[in-house]
Amino acid sequence: MSLMESKGVLSKATKDLFARWYDVKGTWSDAQSQEFEKIYLTQIEQDVRAALAAMDHMNQVLQKIENDCE
């Protein structure tokens, strides 16, 4: 699997996670759900954004390496 394919898989999985979370949030809306979202989901979202940005940067570096080797 290529780097960009992996990025797509990660992005889709994250979208699926948050879509399911919003479904659950419709029936689970108390202090515990808010704490869960704050502790776990906010951090996951930040980490995934950082990972996707890093993957973009890695792809640029790999493309440059490929071009330099031609």
At 29 the three-state DSSP class reads coil
Q: What is the pLDDT of residue 22?
A: 95
| CA distance linking residue 66 with residue 56, whole number of Å | 15
**C-alpha to C-alpha distance for 43 and 39, rounded to whole angstroms:** 7
pLDDT at 12: 98
Give the contacts of 37 (CB within 8 A, at least 6 positions apart): 21, 25
Averaged pLDDT for residues 1-29: 95
DSSP 30: S
What is the structure's pLDDT at 48? 98
